Amino acid sequence: MEAFVQSAGDDGVIVVSFGSMTKTMSVERREVFAAAFVRLRQKVVWRYVGEKPTGLGNNTKLLDWLPQNDLLAHPKTRAFITHAGANGMYEALHHGVPMVCLPLFGDQHGNAARVVARGLGVKLNFNTVTAEQLYQAILHVATNNSYQETAALLSRLHRDQPQSPMERAVWWIEHVIKHGRLPHLRARAVELPWYQYYLLDVAVFLLAVCLAVLGTVWCSCSFIVRKICCKSGGRPKSQ
């Protein structure tokens, strides 16, 4: 992997991953991506499981799994093509890598919108993007200094903490060892009765509300029907 990345030279590397939930693509989509990648001067590391695209270029390496965080931390990485999942987004933010976002579902659309709003990347539609649009977006993000500068600035802001995560974890461990058992740090869930822990009381309450509403509707409909029947039965035969 290191040899492949180093072979990119000054042009750098593009990292592509759509998370663990999207392992394969339709024939049309994978050919669109392959056609865009083959035009790039950069090397491409693409996490992809499935049939190899026919238009795949020699500059693209397909992997069933890739060390995403390590690749994003590499100084030769120029851009990250992603579905804008939370983990990948924060890894790219931490390492100062601009993004080309193609959200698929859930919170990914909101994440991609925040990436665009902060000037950290661009957003495309996964289902309708063309090879030309994807190529131009990658080229724009990877070569435009404004994205690189913004990513570097946001990375510095994100990293600027009084302690590193390792130091903070060590401090908390030593804090517990020093002061012994600390009940105020225990999760309140361990003190709940079993029926509250499994939300059975909430389920019973909601079931009771539903039954009460249905019972009220049933009684109301029955009352209205009886009134109508009584009025109809009380008419003289001449009518």
The residues near 140 (Cβ < 8 Å, ≥ 6 apart) are: 122, 147
Q: Are 102 and 126 in contact (CB under 8 A)?
A: yes
SS3 labels along 29-40:
HHHHHHHHHCCC
pLDDT the model gives residue 154: 94
Q: What is the pLDDT of residues 180-191, one digit of tens each?
A: 888 888 888 888
pLDDT of residue 141: 93
- pLDDT tens-digit series, residues 96-147: 999 999 999 888 999 999 999 999 999 999 999 999 999 999 999 998 899 9
Q: Per-residue pLDDT tens for 3-61?
A: 999 998 889 999 999 887 666 788 888 899 999 999 999 999 999 888 888 888 889 99
Instruction: Report the chain's mean pLDDT, rounded to a whole number.
Output: 89
Identify the pLDDT of residue 102. 93
CB within 8 Å of 76: residues ≥ 6 apart: 5, 6, 8, 12, 13
The pLDDT of residue 188: 82
**The pair of three-digit structure tokens given for residue 87, joined into one six-digit string:** 């983990």
Give the pLDDT score at 228. 83
233 versus 73: the higher-pLDDT residue is 73
pLDDT at 234 over 60: no
**Arithmetic mean of pLDDT, 156-183:** 90
Report which of 16, 99, 27 is spatially closest to residue 59, judged by C-alpha positions: 16
Mean local confidence (pLDDT), 65-79? 93
DSSP string, 198-237: TTHHHHHHHHHHHHHHHHHHHHHHHHHHHHHHHHHHTS-T
Residue 211: pLDDT over 90? yes
pLDDT at 235 over 80: no
pLDDT in tens, 81-104: 999 999 999 999 999 999 999 999
How confident is the model at residue 237, as a pLDDT? 53
CA distance 195 to 211: 21
Write down the pLDDT at residue 238. 54
* DSSP structure string for the chain: -HHHHHTTGGG-EEEEE--TT-----HHHHHHHHHHHTT-SSEEEEE--SSPPTT--TTEEEESS--HHHHHHSTTEEEEEE---HHHHHHHHHHT--EEE---STTHHHHHHHHHHTTSEEE--TTT--HHHHHHHHHHHHH-HHHHHHHHHHHHHHH--SS-HHHHHHHHHHHHHHH---GGGS-GGGGS-HHHHTTHHHHHHHHHHHHHHHHHHHHHHHHHHHHHHHHHHTS-TT-
What pLDDT does 230 receive? 81
Q: Would you state the pLDDT for residue 94?
A: 94
Angle at CA of residue 19, ends 16 and 22, nearest 5°: 100
Q: What is the pLDDT of residue 21?
A: 67
